[in-house]
Amino acid sequence: SAVGRGPEVPFRSEAYRISALARGKELRLTLSALDPGCAPPQDLVFRFGMSGSFRLCPAAELPRHAHLRFLTRESPPRALCFVDARRFGSWRLGDAWQQDRGPCVVSEYQAFRENVLRNLDDKAFDKPVCEALLNQKYFNGIGNYLRAEILYRLKIPPFEKARTVLEALKDQKQERRKKDPSMTLSKKVKLMQKNPDLLELCHTVPMEVITGEKQLFDPEHADNYSAFKNWLQCYLVPGMNSLRDRNGRTIWFHGEPGPMAPTGQKPRKKRAQPKADPEAQTPKVTSRALKRRPRAAATPPKSDEKEEGEEEKEADGPRKGRPRRRRTVTSAPALPGPGKGRARQRKRVTPAPAL
């Protein structure tokens, strides 16, 4: 599209096939011409940001912010669109994954686990565990809502030191081997399901979303969002606490934040919105009351809660709206003298003397 920020795609073919491969938070598309002599294959690697997604729709009804479109030749034609309202997503040419991203927590679990436990001396694990979980060098695929759900299930304070939490996994693994060195694979799987550790939940919790009964993130089925909200146990759930980490991202949790919690903040709880009683009588508002307080009647109360997905920092700036004008006091016009221009005059009535 004209407003797309990504590079032009140098691929021309009358008929081609699109295949996809995901790795963590990246997706690689490969465009292959059905006629091999027409054009060489072209690879694109996408990052989705906060709102990026793919949508298949009629070409005559393109959604807003469709920044890249693949058109079909059917009648009527359809378009596979990369839609990104906030424009945090991007794509680049080539098949190379981003270098600073580690193995995928979903498709490369064993490599992911070994990569974390082998590099616990890295300074990345000096940070709180909630911040380390967003480091894509070690936790490629974990985002803001996933880290909250993982830590909540294990009852780990989000601002506990990451190395302290993860070093305990090495000791647990050695103890399991000492107790039963001949444990079969099926027994290991059952034991993992009963007592999962942090790295195991980094794999199983995303899989719950992927293999759910409904496509919880399908943009064409907005009603599925209610199923996603029911699946959440901690993130954006009323009654949970929240704090901003040192990167400005909000972490939701239950209980104490942990010893590395940022100073100067108090945990905030999301209050449950009370449901309106349909049988309650609404007080009548007279026209006279509306005239007295027009602003109070027209302006809804402000809410302290923020919308889900709001990750950017808000800059302090001037208040929006019309600037207040200074009221100018003008003197009242002089009243005409007696007998001049008065259409109505009140007669002074004197009471009659009592008999």
For residue 302, what pLDDT is reported? 44
From first to last of its 355 residues, the chain has per-residue pLDDT tens of 877 788 989 888 888 999 999 999 999 999 999 987 888 999 999 999 888 889 999 999 998 899 999 988 889 999 999 999 888 889 999 999 999 999 999 999 999 999 999 999 999 999 999 999 999 999 999 999 999 999 999 999 999 999 999 998 976 655 555 556 665 555 555 555 567 999 999 999 999 988 876 666 665 566 677 888 889 999 999 999 999 999 999 999 999 999 999 988 877 777 665 554 444 444 454 555 445 544 444 444 444 434 334 443 433 344 445 555 555 544 445 544 444 444 455 555 555 555 4
Rg over alpha carbons for the chain, rounded to the nearest Å, is 32
Q: Which domains does the chain have, with CATH numbers?
A: 16-93 (3.20.190.10), 109-270 (1.10.8.50)
> Taking each helix axis from N to C terminus, what angle separates 109-118 and 198-210, rounded to the nearest 10 degrees?
150
Task: Of 303, 239, 300, give the one whose Cα is nearest residue 272.
Answer: 239
What pLDDT score was predicted for residue 140? 97
What is the predicted pLDDT for the residue at 346?
52
Q: b/e string for 198-222 if b means 16 or more Cβ within 10 A?
A: bbbbbbbbbeeeeeeeeebeeeeee
> How far is residue 247's CA from residue 263's CA, in Å, rounded to a whole number?
14
Residues 6+ apart with CB under 8 A from 107: 22, 23
**Contact criterion met (CB below 8 Å) for 216 and 231:** yes
Q: How far apart are the first and last CA of the chain?
A: 98
pTM of the model: 0.69
Q: What is the DSSP letter of 29?
A: E
CB atoms closer than 10 angstroms to residue 128: 24
